[in-house]
């Protein structure tokens, strides 16, 4: 059986890939999340009532567009094809937001972005400390301060609006 497995491995074409599947998943998730941040940031600029939420949407578009370009350059250098769209879950969230406007949009958008940024920070910290691909680790480390600044800003906006940031709410 080992000879057969070894033969199969040698028959596969050589492709430059990250050190393991977890790194590939990180690249995919980061790309999908970045795309969603830009799309929902654009929505916030159009549909939000609060100037601080509209401004935050603009910040998302600016910052995540730049991060997306960095990620794209790393992926291209490694022959990794990144997704061109956000994930199905993010598309569902975007569809729900599309039907909202004003204060209801603001509340839903801010609460969703807080949850999303908390999850992103955890994922980026994990990749920065335990990822096997050096470029993925460096990208995660370099991006973390931006994500943490976004979360702080979101929490400030939520506090000003009197929104609970508990996930049960």
| Residue 41: CATH number of its domain | 1.20.1260.10
Q: Burial level of 155, CB count in 10 A (0-12/13-18/19+)?
A: middle
pTM for the complete prediction?
0.84
Contact predicate 44/57, CB 8 Å: yes
**pLDDT at site 19:** 54
Tens-place pLDDT, residues 78-95: 999 999 999 999 999 999
Per the structure block, which two tokens stand in for 146?
A: 């931006």
Domain contains 168: no
Range 141-147 contact pairs with CB under 8 angstroms and sequence separation of 24 or more: 142/70, 143/30, 143/67, 143/70, 146/63, 146/67, 147/117, 147/120, 147/121
Domain contains 167: no
Quote the number of domains for the chain. 1
Domain contains 165: no
Domain contains 147: yes
The whole domain housing 135 covers: 2-160
Domain contains 30: yes
Domain contains 57: yes
Q: Residue length, the chain?
A: 169
Determine the Cα–Cα distance for residues 96 and 41; give it in Å rounded to an integer: 14
Domain contains 109: yes
User: In what helix (H) or strand (E) does residue 102 lie, and over which residues does it extend?
Assistant: helix 102-130
Residue 115, CB-side half-sphere exposure with 13 Å CA sphere: 14
Average pLDDT of adjacent 10-residue blocks, the chain of 169 residues: 41 50 94 96 96 97 97 94 93 94 95 96 97 96 98 96 64
Determine the Cα–Cα distance for residues 67 and 46; give it in Å rounded to an integer: 22
Residue 22, CB-side half-sphere exposure with 13 Å CA sphere: 12
Per the structure block, which two tokens stand in for 157?
A: 């906006």
The CA–CA distances, whole Å, from 80 to 18, 51, 68, 104, 143 equal 9, 39, 14, 39, 19
**pLDDT at site 161:** 86
Domain contains 169: no
**pLDDT at site 14:** 44
């Amino acid at each position: 059986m080992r000879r057969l497995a070894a033969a199969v491995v040698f028959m596969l074409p050589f492709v430059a890939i990250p050190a393991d599947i977890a790194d590939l998943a990180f690249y995919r998730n980061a790309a999908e999340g970045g795309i969603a941040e830009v799309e929902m940031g654009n929505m916030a600029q159009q549909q939000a009532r609060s100037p601080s939420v509209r401004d935050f949407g603009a910040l998302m578009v600016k910052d995540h567009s730049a991060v997306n370009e960095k990620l794209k350059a790393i992926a291209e250098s490694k022959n990794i094809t990144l997704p061109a769209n956000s994930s199905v879950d993010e598309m569902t969230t975007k569809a729900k937001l599309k039907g909202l406007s004003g204060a209801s949009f603001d509340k839903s958008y801010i609460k969703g972005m807080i949850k999303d940024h908390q999850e992103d920070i955890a994922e980026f910290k994990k990749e920065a400390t335990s990822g096997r691909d050096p470029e993925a680790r460096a990208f995660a480390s370099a991006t973390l301060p931006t994500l943490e600044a976004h979360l702080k800003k979101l929490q400030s906006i939520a506090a000003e609006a009197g929104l609970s940031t508990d996930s049960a709410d």
